[in-house]
Amino acid sequence: MAFAPVPRASVSDHVFAQLRDAIVSGRYRPDDPLPGERELAGAFAVNRHAVREALRRLQQLGLLRVSQGGATRVLDWRVHAGLDLALSLAQSGDVLPVENLVRDMLEMRACIGVDAARLCAERAPDELRRGLVAVVEEFAALAPDLPAMGEANIALWRTIVNGSGNTAYLLAFNSLVAGAVAVGDVPPERRAAELLDVAGHRRLAEAIATGRGADAGREAYDLLTAALTTPTT
């Protein structure tokens, strides 16, 4: 299989990206063996150290199984990969369209946010629940500055997710806001309907503050699904 020679700077990154894309796009299928390090180094016109580092990263993403003394084989990314792969693929729109990834991550964000809001209302400490009202007012005061509101919104939702007491939700939230999809790279204009719905955020905060989990979930759903119905052009 032919690969394009890569620039001398960050050669390991280029090897990693090309192999990742070849695996995710199906050019290499699950359980296929990869060429050996020496063959890959020749195909990419790089040294073996760059290839070895790229393979290590692919293994960490759940794309490869590396056996000492045996062949390096491709894993099924649909079974073995996690959110880190989605974040990595955000820069490879020709493999999995970025817009699809953004949509998918926004949908995941909505699912987590709805349940996190419910749980926060039902089991967060009183101080956190009551304090959320002030956090929302600080967020509302930034209107109509969408970029500033977007940053404040992340802090607001971090408070809610922390209040849910669900560690898995918190780790997923960290992935969603730290990467280049979902919240991190979605233009604020795409989320304008959500961010500018100050009244909706106030209702959400009030529902959480008063321990009304079902109401908190409904308010969160209305807010977090707004971006999913907003045209992308």
Residues of the chain with CATH 1.20.120.530: 98-229
CATH number for the domain whose boundaries are 11-81:
1.10.10.10
Tens of pLDDT, residue by residue over 158-187, are 999 999 999 999 988 888 877 544 444 566
Provide the CATH topology of domain 98-229: Four Helix Bundle (Hemerythrin (Met), subunit A) (1.20.120)
The answer to whether the peptide bond before residue 147 is cis (omega within 30 degrees of 0) is no
Residues of the chain with CATH 1.10.10.10: 11-81
The pTM of this model reads 0.75
In angstroms, rounded to a whole number, what is the distance separating the alpha carbons of residues 158 and 112? 12
Matching residue, tokens 């995941």: 108
Dihedral of CA 132/167/87/109: which sign? negative
Tens of pLDDT, residue by residue over 65-106, are 988 777 899 999 999 988 788 778 765 545 555 557 778 888
In angstroms, rounded to a whole number, what is the distance separating the alpha carbons of residues 176 and 27? 28
In angstroms, rounded to a whole number, what is the distance separating the alpha carbons of residues 54 and 62? 13
In angstroms, rounded to a whole number, what is the distance separating the alpha carbons of residues 164 and 169? 8
| For residue 189, pLDDT beyond 90 | no
Contact 96, 24 (CB under 8 A): yes
Contact 45, 68 (CB under 8 A): no
